[in-house]
């Protein structure tokens, strides 16, 4: 069955373009309102990535930058969950990319000069493709909080960045995952740019003792939700009216 | 709707680590190849630059382009150069189809952008009259049309100001 267009995006649920407490948004937020447009084939389609596009260690950040026989430093964690749409349907076969700081809060990036040291065995880049049931999983280390220039004593909560593709470009999403219990969540202007506590809560991963492997690695659970499909009027409904 | 979309967060200044790791300075090591740089046969050059509200070139953006027609499907991603701000794409020129003038979808994320920005690029040497999406931009439609260059095309995106580019709620 051909799929219909995507449901409208609830812009009030997302952070506004301009959130002055997040200083970088001041000069980068468009000042004109977004112009609503109908979805065309361009927006309803998107690239498809196969498993052959990825390397065998792409979903294991503990090992994918480590020299032979070694592993990244820091608390070992599994991050897993499901990629769903707003209708709670699995979104299979989609590329999920993640990036993060190391356990000391330092990114392996030419522009990051934070004084915490790099970890020779940690790159901070991971990728996987969602399964038939929308499930995804990768192994990494718990990232550290770090300070950032925002005009004050600003520290990011520990977080992992997620980039997610859907069936169509209209579903394309970049977001961040936080960890339950982190006191920096309430203090961070990037997190607090999200208008409601309810919405913020969707980005907070939960400790998952069911998936935690004894004497090995803890697990955190994080589901990602993409836009759903617009409501469809079925023929049998029309007959009844 | 049973669920709500995951709220967006900025890609931040280190988006390259996840999306273009070699640009961030990562060695390949145990990773698979970087995605989004494949050059299709018959490609033309499209140079994109992004400016902020102070007129400064944005050097930490990630840009993706997408086109989908019966003739071509092509996705590509580039960073704006960490020094010059230039993002150079190599893609096939799109064709007119289904009542739309030739166009590319352009998606921009960066530090300071809280929700990825969607815009389009049209071409100055095509018949754009009657394109249903370009028409929605009214007097600002010219912010969506690239310029011809010796190598292909160039287009400047302004995030703010009098020349602010049209961004769409798709």
pLDDT band, residue A234 (cuts 50/70/90):
low
For chains A and B, count residue pairs whose Cβ atoms are closer than 8 Å. 267
Please give the pLDDT value at position B72: 87
Chain A residues touching B24 at Cβ < 8 A: 107-110, 125
Regarding an ipTM greater than 0.90, the answer is: yes
| Catalytic position from the list A19, A22, A136, A146 | A146
Please give the pLDDT value at position B77: 98
Mean pLDDT for chain B overall: 96
Please give the pLDDT value at position B131: 97
pLDDT band, residue B71 (cuts 50/70/90):
confident
Question: What's the CA gap between A149 and A24, in Å, rounded?
Answer: 10
Using CA coordinates, name the residue in chain A closest to B97: A41
Above 80 in pLDDT, residue A232?
no
Greater confidence (A122 vs A2) lies with: A122
Using CA coordinates, name the residue in chain B closest to A26: B112
DSSP E strand stretches across chain A: 35-36, 76-85, 95-99, 125-129, 135-141, 146-148, 154-156, 159-164, 173-179, 204-207, 218-221, 224-226
pLDDT band, residue A233 (cuts 50/70/90):
low
The reply to whether A224 touches chain B by the CB within 8 Å rule is yes
- Could you confirm whether A19 is annotated as catalytic? no
pLDDT band, residue A2 (cuts 50/70/90):
very low
The reply to whether B83 touches chain A by the CB within 8 Å rule is no
Q: Measured between CB atoms, which of A16, A27, A58 is closest to B53?
A: A27
pLDDT, one tens digit per residue, over A146-183 is 999 999 999 999 999 999 999 999 999 999 999 999 99
| Catalytic position from the list A22, A156, A178, A220 | A156
HEC sequence for B58-126: CCCCEEEEEEECCCCEEEEEEECCCCCCCEEEEECCCCCECCECCEEEEEEECCCCCCCEEEEEECCCC
Instruction: Please enumerate in sequence order all residues whose Cβ is within 8 A of that of A103, keeping only pairs 6 or more positions apart, or say none.
Output: A72, A73, A74, A75, A119, A122, A141, A142, A143, A144
Give the global pTM.
0.96
128-147 in chain B: CB under 8 A from chain A: 132-133, 136-137, 140
Above 60 in pLDDT, residue A35?
yes
Question: What's the CA gap between B27 and B14, in Å, rounded?
Answer: 16
- Could you confirm whether A220 is annotated as catalytic? no
pLDDT, one tens digit per residue, over B140-153 is 999 999 999 998 99
The reply to whether A154 touches chain B by the CB within 8 Å rule is no
pLDDT, one tens digit per residue, over A14-27 is 999 999 999 999 99
Structure tokens at B153: 């095309």
Residue with tokens 């003038």: B101
User: Would you call A27 and B54 a contact, using CB atoms and an 8 Å cutoff?
Assistant: yes
Chain A residues touching B56 at Cβ < 8 A: 27
Instruction: Please enumerate in sequence order all residues whose Cβ is within 8 A of that of A142, keeping only pairs 6 or more positions apart, or say none.
Output: A74, A75, A77, A103, A158, A179
User: Would you call B82 and A17 a contact, using CB atoms and an 8 Å cutoff?
Assistant: no
């Amino acid at each position: 069955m051909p799929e219909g267009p995507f449901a409208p995006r609830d812009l009030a649920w997302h952070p506004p373009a301009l959130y002055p407490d997040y200083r970088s948004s001041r000069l980068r937020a468009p000042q004109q309102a977004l112009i609503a447009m109908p979805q065309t084939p361009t927006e309803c389609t998107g690239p498809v990535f196969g498993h052959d596009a990825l390397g065998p260690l792409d979903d294991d950040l503990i090992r994918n930058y480590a020299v032979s026989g070694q592993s990244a430093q820091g608390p070992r964690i599994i991050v897993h969950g499901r990629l769903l749409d707003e209708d709670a349907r699995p979104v299979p076969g989609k590329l999920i990319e993640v990036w993060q700081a190391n356990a000391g809060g330092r990114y392996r990036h030419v522009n990051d000069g934070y004084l915490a040291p790099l970890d020779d065995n940690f790159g901070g880049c991971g990728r996987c493709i969602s399964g038939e049931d929308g499930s995804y999983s990768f192994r990494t280390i718990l990232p550290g909080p770090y300070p950032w220039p925002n005009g004050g004593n600003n520290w990011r909560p520990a977080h992992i960045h997620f980039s997610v593709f859907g069936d169509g470009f209209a579903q394309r999403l970049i977001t961040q995952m936080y960890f339950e219990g982190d006191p920096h969540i309430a203090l961070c202007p990037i997190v607090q740019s999200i208008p409601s506590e309810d919405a913020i809560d969707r980005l907070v991963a939960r400790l998952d003792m069911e998936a935690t492997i004894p004497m090995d690695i803890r697990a955190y659970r994080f589901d990602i939700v993409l836009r759903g499909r617009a409501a469809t009027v079925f023929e049998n409904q029309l007959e009844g009216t | 709707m049973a669920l709500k979309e995951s709220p967006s967060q900025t890609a931040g200044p280190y988006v390259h680590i996840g999306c273009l790791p070699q640009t961030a300075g990562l060695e390949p090591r145990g990773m698979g190849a970087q995605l989004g740089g494949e050059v299709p046969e018959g490609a033309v050059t499209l140079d994109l630059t992004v400016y902020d509200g102070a007129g400064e070139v944005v050097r930490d953006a990630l840009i993706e382009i997408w086109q989908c027609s019966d003739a071509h499907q092509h996705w590509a991603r580039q960073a704006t150069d960490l020094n010059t701000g230039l993002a150079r794409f190599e893609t096939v020129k799109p064709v007119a189809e289904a009542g739309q003038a030739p166009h590319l979808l352009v998606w921009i994320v960066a530090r300071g952008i809280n929700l990825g920005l969607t815009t389009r690029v049209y071409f100055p040497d095509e018949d754009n009259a009657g394109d249903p999406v370009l028409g929605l931009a009214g007097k600002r439609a010219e912010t969506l049309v690239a310029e011809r260059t010796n190598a292909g095309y160039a287009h400047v995106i302004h995030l703010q100001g009098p020349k602010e580019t049209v961004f769409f709620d798709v």
